[in-house]
């Protein structure tokens, strides 16, 4: 690992711990916590293990996170048996200053969006490199039903994107991912809806219709907490 990625890992770890500290101060009785996916979410799970007696359990957004939670002895529930969720905590691939996100670098976008939709508060945890003015430098992941790959590819090309098939990757839902390059996303909410309206699309990685409520950013000067500008 080079110096830049080592520093980035340290920032992810710091922001994950800060999110656990924040949650610890806010947790209500019998809380359920939604858990994201990815390396920052993994640091969060590891830090969460230390306060596992303070909440009832979790709902995971991927099989990988579920496995990690269980390895720490943290209860994981099926979303269908849950009525309330106080927090959803997850990383992101990009965030603008309105806390609209691109997610799905790890391919878990659909379950992430479903679990996040249930939470009273979505806390996004990132290192400073994920912040941007305009979304789209990070290729936008789209989960697609396998038989619709060509149909969706053509529709996205007509919209001005350059979709690339994520080779050798199958989502937890048995679908494929197209990563859309060359987008300058100036109207994230409209684009989120437009892509989701293509037949064969399960969902796309824009979290703009329901953005994060709070973002915690790991920076060289400590962790900054922000709400939408
Ligand atoms: C997974 C995601 C992740 O949150 C996103 O890819 C960020 O990952 P990391 O914390 O490893 O940088 O959306 O589907």
Residue of 100, 112, 143, 192 marked catalytic:
112
Q: Which atom of ligand 1 is nearest to the CA of 108?
A: 14
Burial state string for 69-96 with b = 16 or more CB within 10 A and e = fewer than 16: beeeebeeeebeebeebbbbbbbbbbbb
How confident is the model at residue 1, as a pLDDT? 76
Structure letter (DSSP) for residue 73 = T
Distance 110 CA to ligand 1 centre (A): 13
Q: What is the DSSP string of 94-156?
A: EE-TT--EE--TTS-HHHHHHHHHHEEEEEEEEEGGGB-SSBTSSPEEEEE-GGGHHHHHHHH
Percent of the chain whose predicted confidence (pLDDT) is above 70: 100
How confident is the model at residue 2, as a pLDDT? 85
How confident is the model at residue 225, as a pLDDT? 98
Pocket residue to mutate for ligand 1, from 34, 36, 68, most atoms within 8 A of Cβ: 36
How confident is the model at residue 127, as a pLDDT? 97
Structure letter (DSSP) for residue 212 = -
Q: Which atom of ligand 1 is nearest to the CA of 90?
A: 4
**Is 100 noted as a catalytic residue in this protein?**
no
Ligand 1 touching residue 104 (CB < 6 A): yes
Distance 63 CA to ligand 1 centre (A): 14
State the burial class of residue 187 (Cβ atoms within 10 Å of its Cβ: 0-12, 13-18, 19+): exposed
Number of C-beta neighbours around residue 54 at 10 A: 13
The CA distance from 196 to 202, in Å, is 7
Residues of the chain with pLDDT under 50: none
Give me the phi and psi of 32, to 5 degrees please.
Answer: -115, 135
Give the total residue count for the chain: 229
How confident is the model at residue 3, as a pLDDT? 86
Q: What is the DSSP string of 12-29?
A: HHHHHHHHHHHHHHH--T
Assess contact for 44 and 23: CB atoms under 8 A: no
Assess contact for 229 and 116: CB atoms under 8 A: no
């Amino acid at each position: 690992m080079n110096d830049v990625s080592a520093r980035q890992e340290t920032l992810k770890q710091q922001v994950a711990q800060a999110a656990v500290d924040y949650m610890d101060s806010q947790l209500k009785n019998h809380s359920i916590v939604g858990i994201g996916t990815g390396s920052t979410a993994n640091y969060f799970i590891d830090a969460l293990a230390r306060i596992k007696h303070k909440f009832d359990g979790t709902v995971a957004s991927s099989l990988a996170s579920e496995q990690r939670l269980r390895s720490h002895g943290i209860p994981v529930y099926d979303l269908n048996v849950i009525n309330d969720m106080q927090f959803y905590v997850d990383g992101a691939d990009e965030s603008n200053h309105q806390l609209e996100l691109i997610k799905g670098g790890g391919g878990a976008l659909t379950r992430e969006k479903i679990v996040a939709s249930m939470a009273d508060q979505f806390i996004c945890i990132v290192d400073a490199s994920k912040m941007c003015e305009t979304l789209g430098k990070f290729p936008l992941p789209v989960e697609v039903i396998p038989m619709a790959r060509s149909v969706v590819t053509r529709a996205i090309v007509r919209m001005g994107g350059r979709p690339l098939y994520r080779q050798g990757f199958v989502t937890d839902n048995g679908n494929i991912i197209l990563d859309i390059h060359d987008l300058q996303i100036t109207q994230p909410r409209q684009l989120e809806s437009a892509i989701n309206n293509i037949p064969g699309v399960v969902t796309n990685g824009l979290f703009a219709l329901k953005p994060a409520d709070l973002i915690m950013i790991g920076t060289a000067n400590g962790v900054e907490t922000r709400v939408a500008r």
